[in-house]
Each structure stands twice: as structure tokens, then as C-alpha cells.
Chains A and B, each alone.
Chain A
Amino acid sequence: MHKLPHVITLNQENQLMKIFILYGTETGNSELFAEDVQAALKDQHEVTLVDMQNATLDMLSPENDLTIIIISTYGEGEYPTNAQAFVKIIQDKQPDLHGCRIAFFGLGDTFYTGHYNVCVKTLQKLLTGLGAEQIGPCGLHDASSGQMIDELMQPWLDAVFSDLKKQ
């Protein structure tokens, strides 16, 4: 049976943190991982889970305490279908993202040499290039590693939240 990790407690002036989780997925792994992250955080924070297909630019606003982006890579370094329109909006509108805090997690496969997890990496460059601040390390899952995706969640979330606390 799958176990949920312990819930992260974070008191920031005793306020509920407002967190958006945006996922881009082709075969459903990123969505499931995003749901797991939501389940781990929702008791302590105000968490909204969003399919990137329905994402809007205000979800990247500095008003939010944290935006989490979970995205896979498809084809040969292509964005998942449900993420393409939103990425295009960002590329076209070039919004000012100063003050916006974003954590990244990518799902990919080293089998695709030369294209490993390129989506999360290019998105990271794009958003930090627009002024966003990256929180924690960019998490990466490699489908060829044989590792379960959810095993990576707790260490990555811990790193993200300890980075957030420092601020």
C-alpha cells in the first residue's frame, strides 16, 4: 500500500500559505505526482492543483507564497500537450515575474539521450529569466532509473520548504 509522507509543518506568521501546483503531463505520471504533493501539503496550506491546460498567468503571481511546477518531457524534448499553450502564453507575453517564488520538478528519461528532462530545464530558465526566484533544487525523475517517483517527493519537498523558510 502506498504511504503518504508525513505532513510538512510550516508556520509563517501563523498564516496558511497559498500554494499553486501546476502540472504538465502526457501519460499521467506528473499528474499523479502532483496529486501526491497536494495530498502531502493540503492539511497545512491552501493548495490549488491546476492542469496546465487551465493555468493562467496570475498563478505565477508574487501574491502566492509558492508555485510548484511539475512537468514531463515528451517526443524529443517536447512539452506535454496540455502544457504547450500555457508555455506559449509565457513566451509571448513575457510577464514580469519578480517576487514570484517557483519550485520545479521534472519527469523524464535518460533513454532519450540529449533530451533528458529538457522541458523542466527550459521552463526553469524561461521563468527565472523573467525574474522569478527558484525555490529549492530542481527535482528530477529518470524513468530508466527504476526508482519510484514518490520516493523522491519527501527529500525534494523538505529542501524546497527549508529554502522557503530561509527567506
Chain B
Amino acid sequence: MIENPQIAIIGSGPSGIYTAQFLLKKIPDCKIDILERLPTLYGLVQYGVAPDHQSAKAITRQFDRLFENKSVHFFGGVEVGNAIHLEELKKLYDIVIIASGLYGDRRLGIQGENLPGVLPSGRLTRWLNGYPNEELKPLLVGPHLVIIGNGNVAIDVARLMAKTDQDLINSTMDLTRHALLGGGKVKTIDIIGRGLPEGCKSDPLILRELANIPYVHLTVEGNLTPDNEDSFPQIVKNRLKVLREINNMGKPNAPCQISIRFQLKPIEIIGDNSVKAVIFHDQNKNIREISASAVVTAIGFCDAPDTVISRDRFRIKNEGELSYNLGENLYSVGWFRKGPTGTISENRVDAKEVVEIIFRDLEQSLKNKAKEKKGLASEELEKLLKARRVHWFDFEQKEEMSPNKSQNTLC
């Protein structure tokens, strides 16, 4: 085994942080530098996880502890591929791990998608989470919101747009931005999925949470008692059960009406200067039009247009997942490796695995060839960044860099 292996991790989201934690346990003498394009830490925990789910964000306390370890350094505001190239990192470090997630919104690829009033969910949730450089044109969502997609992100968006400011006081929601969008004033929300109810991806817990908002009435349209229900896995049965339970819970006069609809395929978004309606095909290819003052697309994530580390570049044909080892001393983990689905804890499982593989490979590399001793990679990196006039933030500066996270209060 190489002594004091020097490791660079690209990205400080859950997968990068968990990987660093496990590396320190498995290879206690390793040195880890975490490079992050944003000045702030923890990726989607900060800018994806809903601002009214404070306890889910509390994981940051665990993550903070990592940086008490003197072997770990944070380089915030350093975008790999921009400030420093991947190839350069691979030369500087014994091991380089890509944990950069996927933050591009997948597009529908239909007409009208570029109309004002169509908001991709990734950008919207970043914006509501107070993300500093998200250029979302503030516009009123208006009375009729259509959300395309029915995964957890879609349900998060529905809840956040339904909730009034009063109910968000104890959250880290950017209330100014929420008000600019007209959050809490939406009259109808249609949550649309292409598939059948049994294929619905959202977590029963957050479906219930949505239905339980006192001023929301929720209905579910579609066959919630399929004939072959008995043959479904337990998790699917549970979800159908919850969909039945939350359907029509008896608040028909509630000011916010939410409909979950299935088997509708979006064909076109229509409107002149802004969105007016969405046209769908139902299962029989009949046209169905749902009027909309705004549309949120929540159909998943992919390489962002401005990405500098393209996941697609590493993909082999149509394989969904990348390998842990991407050749030579380059590895991948988390959403970047697996694709953009799964909870925080699933990245923990992935991080454990990549560390096992790195450990094995490091042992192997000793048998093959002892790498020549290099200088301290951190110092080399700092020298390089200084020469390029790249300003970076260390962990101690994170408070001053994070967006204003003071508790919300309503006057």
C-alpha cells in the first residue's frame, strides 16, 4: 500500500462527504482534499432537499465533523474542469474521485418548453433554497400550476408552492423568493405522471404530508385498485394504499385543490407570451388539455448544459450506471456514478463500496509498482490555484459564504 495516499474528491455533496468519512476509516493515513465548485458545502442537502424539511438537512451537523480531521481540506469555489483540469488532478493525486452529482434539469423535448412560465424543478428548488447564482426570472406562478412528473421532487414542489408563508416560518425557505413566485396563493395544482399509479415513484410519507396540509384538498385520478395488485411487491402495495387513503379526504372547499393524475403524456405547452395550457395524450391517444398559468418540469436530472465534467463522456452505450473505476486512478461515486435517483443514505452505501474498491486497488498497486514519492498534493494545488488567481474558501470561511440562513420571521 502506498503510504499516505493523497486523494482528491470532486464535490462536497453527500457522496463526497461519505466517501471521505469511509476513506479515513479504511485508510487512516490518507490525505483528502475536497474540491467544490460552489463556495458552500454539501450539494443538494443545501440546495435540493426541501427547505421545510429541516430535520433532513440536519445531516450537515454530522458532515461538519469531518472537517475536524486535520487530514481533510476543503477547497470551496474551485470548479474542476475550469479552475483546474481533471487530467491535472490525476497527475497531482494518487486517487481522484468524481462525486459531482448531476444538476442539469432533464428536458421534456416538446414544443413550448421555452415559454416564460415553464420552470425546471432543479432550478426552482435551488432558487427557493436561496442558491446564490440561480438566475430564475421571478414571475408569478399564478393560480394554476401544472407539475409534470410525480417523483419526490414533484411532490416537494407541490407542497412548497401550496404552503403559505405562515407555514414556512420555521424553514430555511427564501421567503422573499417564495412570495415573488406567489407561493401559498396557488389555487389548483395538477401533478401529472405518464405511467400507471402503481409506477408512481414518490415516497408515501411525503404524499401523506401533502394531503395533510389543512388548506389542501387532494384527489387522485386513475385506477387505484388494479386487478393484479396482489402480485406487486410490498412497497408498491403500500404506495397504492396510501394513494387510496389520501384521495378525497373530505376538504372539498379547501382553497388549494391538488389533483394527482396518471397516464398522461405531455405533447405540447401552449401560450403566446406565457404558458396557457398543457396538451396531453391519454392512454387512448385522446387529447386532453389542462390550463396552466405555470408549468414545473420534474422529470429528472442529467448533465447540465454548462457542466465541465460530463457524465455522458464516461457512459458506455446505454448503461445506466458508471463503473466505480473510470480507468487509471479515477473513480466515481453517488449520483454521478449511479444516475440521478436515490436518497442521501443510498449514496452512503455507494461511498462504502467505492472505498472498498479503492482500498483493494491501492493494495494491488503496491504489488505492481511502488509509485514514486510525490510532494504534498495540497500544496501543489494551492500553488497552481494561486498562479491562476483562483480564490478559494476553506472550511472555516463557510459561515461567511453561506447565503443568509437566519431564521425566517414574518412581520
Chain A residues packing against B (C-beta within 8 Å): 1-2, 26-29, 32, 74-76, 81, 109, 111-112, 143-144, 146, 148-149
| Cα(A74)–Cα(B344), bound, Å | 13
| Docked-complex contact B62 and A28, CB < 8 angstroms | yes
Also in contact, A143 and B65, with CB within 8 A (given A26-B345, A28-B348, A76-B204): no
Query: Which residue of chain B lies nearest to A143 when distances are taken between CB atoms in the complex?
Result: B55
B210 CB to nearest chain A CB (Å): 14
Query: Which residue of chain B lies nearest to A30 when distances are taken between CB atoms in the complex?
Result: B62
Also in contact, A27 and B345, with CB within 8 A (given A109-B55, A143-B58, A144-B55): yes
Chain B positions within 8 Å of A74 at CB level: 345
Chain B 49-73 residues near chain A, CB threshold 8 A:
54-55, 58-59, 61-62, 65, 68
Is the C-beta of B18 less than 8 angstroms from some C-beta in chain A? yes
Chain B 14-72 residues near chain A, CB threshold 8 A:
18, 21, 54-55, 58-59, 61-62, 65, 68
A46 CB to nearest chain B CB (Å): 20
| Cα(A28)–Cα(B21), bound, Å | 10
| Cα(A109)–Cα(B56), bound, Å | 10
| Docked-complex contact B205 and A32, CB < 8 angstroms | no
Also in contact, A76 and B205, with CB within 8 A (given A2-B65, A27-B348): yes
A-B contact pairs, 17 of them (CB 8 A): A2-B65, A26-B345, A26-B348, A27-B59, A27-B344, A27-B345, A27-B348, A29-B59, A29-B62, A32-B65, A76-B205, A81-B345, A143-B55, A143-B58, A144-B54, A144-B55, A148-B61
Interface size on B, residues (CB 8 A): 16
Chain A positions within 8 Å of B61 at CB level: 148-149
Which 3 residue pairs are nearest across A and B when measured between Cβ atoms? A143-B55, A26-B345, A27-B345
A28 CB to nearest chain B CB (Å): 6
Chain B positions within 8 Å of A111 at CB level: 55
B209 CB to nearest chain A CB (Å): 9
Query: Which residue of chain B lies nearest to A109 when distances are taken between CB atoms in the complex?
Result: B55
| Docked-complex contact B68 and A2, CB < 8 angstroms | yes
| Cα(A148)–Cα(B64), bound, Å | 12
Chain B positions within 8 Å of A143 at CB level: 55, 58
Query: Which residue of chain A lies nearest to B64 when distances are taken between CB atoms in the complex?
Result: A2
| Cα(A149)–Cα(B348), bound, Å | 20
A64 CB to nearest chain B CB (Å): 24
| Docked-complex contact A1 and B68, CB < 8 angstroms | yes
| Cα(A2)–Cα(B61), bound, Å | 11
Chain B 154-213 residues near chain A, CB threshold 8 A:
204-205
| Cα(A146)–Cα(B205), bound, Å | 21
Chain B positions within 8 Å of A144 at CB level: 54-55
A157 CB to nearest chain B CB (Å): 19
| Cα(A1)–Cα(B395), bound, Å | 12
A51 CB to nearest chain B CB (Å): 10
Query: Which residue of chain B lies nearest to A115 when distances are taken between CB atoms in the complex?
Result: B205
Chain B positions within 8 Å of A149 at CB level: 61
Query: Which residue of chain B lies nearest to A145 when distances are taken between CB atoms in the complex?
Result: B55
Chain B positions within 8 Å of A75 at CB level: 205
Chain A positions within 8 Å of B204 at CB level: 76
Chain B positions within 8 Å of A109 at CB level: 55
Chain B positions within 8 Å of A26 at CB level: 345, 348
| Cα(A26)–Cα(B352), bound, Å | 12
| Cα(A101)–Cα(B18), bound, Å | 33
| Cα(A2)–Cα(B204), bound, Å | 37
Chain A positions within 8 Å of B54 at CB level: 144, 146
Also in contact, A28 and B18, with CB within 8 A (given A76-B204, A148-B61): yes
B56-100: contact bitstring with A at CB < 8 Å (1 yes, 0 no)? 001101100100100000000000000000000000000000000
10 additional contacts, CB 8 Å, given A2-B65, A26-B345, A28-B348? A27-B59, A27-B344, A28-B18, A28-B59, A29-B59, A29-B62, A76-B204, A76-B205, A81-B349, A143-B58
Query: Which residue of chain B lies nearest to A148 when distances are taken between CB atoms in the complex?
Result: B61
Chain B positions within 8 Å of A81 at CB level: 345, 349
Query: Which residue of chain B lies nearest to A27 when distances are taken between CB atoms in the complex?
Result: B345
| Cα(A2)–Cα(B64), bound, Å | 10
| Cα(A136)–Cα(B361), bound, Å | 46
